[in-house]
Amino acid sequence: MLNLTVHKEHDERRQGEAYAPAETDVQQFQQKFYIESYGCAMNFADSEIVASILHDQGFGATRDFSEADLVLINTCSIREKAEQTVRKRLNDLRQIKKNKPGALIGILGCMAERLKSKLLEEERLVDLVVGPDAYRSLPSLIQEAETGQKAVNVLLSREETYADISPVRLVTNGVNSFVSIMRGCNNMCTFCVVPFTRGRERSRDPHSILRECRELFEQGYKEITLLGQNVDSYFWTPADAASPDGWGQPVTFANLLEQTAKIDPSLRIRFSTSHPKDITDEVLHVIARNDNICKYIHLPVQSGSNRILQLMNRTYTREWYMAKVDRIRELIPGCGISSDIIAGFCTETEEDHQLTLELMEYCQYDFSYMYFYSERPGTLAARRFQDDVPEEIKKRRLSEIVQLQNKLSKISNHKDIGRTVTVLIEGDSKKSNSDWMGRSSENKVLVFPKNNRAVPGDYATVTVTGSTGGTLLGEIIG
């Protein structure tokens, strides 16, 4: 069984937790690998690429890290807590060396790129370090590390998209899957380390994206999330202007989104994440006219203060952002909207904080991902500004943001009571195997009693009868 363990921090997007159904005969392989992933959905997708590369090189996977010849940790640098978690895990894994001296430990991903020398030389926690654009070099790096040398490749690329690699689906319920459409980021938000750890933005060939989506649908998957640091800036230019399959012109995200939706009307399409400055009316119209594109947009705002937004280099104002939310609700009535919000960014005052709360009230978010500011070494903010808001104030402001969002989520869920919605069944409820769990088009979680006919992957018509916390309760009516 190919294995991926997903550790979910408070700031992570939704990810699957079940093991992959695809079986492999581990006994046929002389070497075994074990892989864990931390952080965002992009890391999850990257781990599936890594598993494919290793499998092609004759490595079998194991669920038991103690018997692995190769242990890989796919890391995240987006927040300090994520790095602390990975460091603790690496220290825990040192026991492998005692029981299996020849075993190798490696780190992948964003933290690998940022802390390569420290992890290799100063702390001696790992044997190999591989950045997000260097996974193809894993086999040769493993051979190098087996000789006792420290193996490193963290070079960033302007071309690498792994378009020709078919990912091995690791953590899956057989219903939802991720498809990466682009890598890197060109937005230089001052608080963010991603442009420095994942490189410049480049879009993947749409042919390979659509092929992967079709294959997933043929394998029984019913929902695909198109992934990118900023999906709305997806832009691909064909090398051959006389492309025989209709891609003779540059492809925008709106084009790609609509073509993906046309694969089959029973295949749900989601996407993440959008930058407010880049989501266009064309994209909104595509969502509105395709029933199988989910009516949900994650639209990070980060702050409600124009002064703080300027310091963050977000390139929009609160007024512009609010107008964008109005436009979404105009073109896609009932669209679910969520956000990212940072409390306590550099120089943030109580007035700035109150502006964020006021913006949240205006936008009426269904839910949000909320954090207090964590300075990341190497970012523009770390170079330019002093992290001068005391931690206790950050935590108090974050608490107020969370309390307000809980209130807004309760209001949003209450409005759904009595509505009849279409739900894609994903599996058993976490609390009871007598209930199903699924999501509406607006990305709201519903729990409802099972009947004798429905199975995961089915669409169910559910009447919302109540709510508890962030979950809607309902009854199947068809």
Q: So where are the chain's domains?
A: 5-153, 176-416, 420-476
Tokens found for residue 218: 């043929």
Spell out the CATH class of 420-476: mainly beta
**Across 15-40, average pLDDT:** 59
For residue 247, the model assigns a pLDDT of 61
Residue among 178, 166, 193 at smallest CA distance from 55: 166
For residue 246, the model assigns a pLDDT of 55
**Strand, helix or coil for residue 40:** coil
The DSSP secondary structure of 303-366, one letter per residue, reads -S-HHHHHHHT----HHHHHHHHHHHHHHSTT-EEEEEEEES-TT--HHHHHHHHHHHHHHT-S
**Strand, helix or coil for residue 24:** coil
For residue 3, the model assigns a pLDDT of 36
For residue 19, the model assigns a pLDDT of 30
For residue 240, the model assigns a pLDDT of 52
Q: Determine which of 33-47, 283-297, 306-320 has the lowest per-residue pLDDT on average.
A: 33-47
Task: Identify the bridge partners of residue 475 per DSSP, sorted by sequence position.
Answer: 463
- Residue type, position 387, single letter: D
Q: pLDDT for 143-200, tens place per residue? A: 999 888 888 898 888 889 999 888 888 767 899 999 999 999 999 999 998 888 889 9
Q: pLDDT for 334-347, tens place per residue? A: 999 999 999 999 99
What's CA 181's distance to the chain center, in Å? 12
Task: Identify the bridge partners of residue 446 per DSSP, sorted by sequence position.
Answer: 438, 472
Q: What is the mean pLDDT of the chain?
A: 88
Spell out the CATH class of 5-153: alpha beta
Q: 186, 231 in Cβ contact below 8 A? A: no
Cα separation of 48 and 37, whole Å? 10
CA 40 → CA 14, 75, 228, 242, distances in Å?
8, 9, 11, 38
**Across 378-394, average pLDDT:** 96
Q: pLDDT for 221-278, tens place per residue? A: 999 999 999 999 999 998 654 454 556 689 999 999 999 999 999 999 999 999 999 9
Cα separation of 43 and 33, whole Å? 17
**Across 121-138, average pLDDT:** 84
CATH homologous superfamily of 176-416: tm_1862 like domain (3.80.30.20)
pTM (2 decimals)?
A: 0.87
Buried b / exposed e over 127-147, threshold 16 CB at 10 Å, is: bbbbbbbbbbbbeebbebbbe
Q: Determine which of 11-20, 81-90, 428-437 has the lowest per-residue pLDDT on average.
A: 11-20
